[in-house]
Amino acid sequence: MVTWSECQDDFERTGSFLDVYVLDGSLAAWNALLEIARKGGPRFIVDCEEASPMSVEEAFAASSSAAVALGFEWQGLVLTAHFFAVEEVTLCFWPEEITDQRSLDALCSFLSKLAVSTNREAIVTDDGAREAVILRASPSGDVILEPSPPAR
């Protein structure tokens, strides 16, 4: 179990999002994410306007000419998925939502569910920095804290 005391510095307010990626995504991985999102009141947003529920295929078709996102909650954590590329399941959240062990457990629970459902690794990284992994969930559902690189 990842503890708050081990990683609280990774969730300091920085003014930018943290990202969640499913490594080696696919339409099947996106559909697994949509199934998870359905439990948390999913909202599709197309060009900043709320849209009717849609399938993953419809979301990607719309994303060829519009910005498409899927927002939902998981145990109080607000997540937003962006339909940039089929092969890259990408979500983001504000780091300041993770403030204690309870909210960290919610994030770890989501990562575990996502990794198991997609049968792929799921990682949390700094905004746009896939190599700066903070948490990693394996397809078995185990979540680990990645060691921070040594300070220079």
Q: What's the pLDDT tens digit per position in 60-95?
A: 999 999 999 999 999 999 999 999 999 999 999 999
Retrieve residue 59's tokens.
Answer: 């979301």
State which amino acid sits at residue 32: A
Retrieve residue 32's tokens.
Answer: 């697994």
Domain boundaries, the chain: 4-145
This prediction's pTM: 0.92
Per-residue pLDDT at 149: 57
Strands 122-126 and 18-22: antiparallel
| Distant-in-sequence, close-in-space partners of 132: CB < 8 Å, separation ≥ 6 | 125, 126
Beta strands (DSSP E) in the chain are 18-22, 43-46, 49-51, 68-74, 77-85, 88-93, 122-126, 129-137, 143-145
pLDDT at 152 over 80: no
Instruction: Give the span between the Cα atoms of 36 and 6, in whole angstroms.
Output: 27
pLDDT, tens digit, 9 for 90 and up, residues 111-145:
999 999 999 999 999 887 888 899 999 999 999 99
- Residue 99 to residues 104, 111, 114, 127, 139: CA-CA distances in angstroms? 7, 17, 21, 18, 26
Instruction: Give the span between the Cα atoms of 152 and 149, in whole angstroms.
Output: 9
Q: Looking at per-residue confidence, does 98 or 130 come out higher?
A: 98
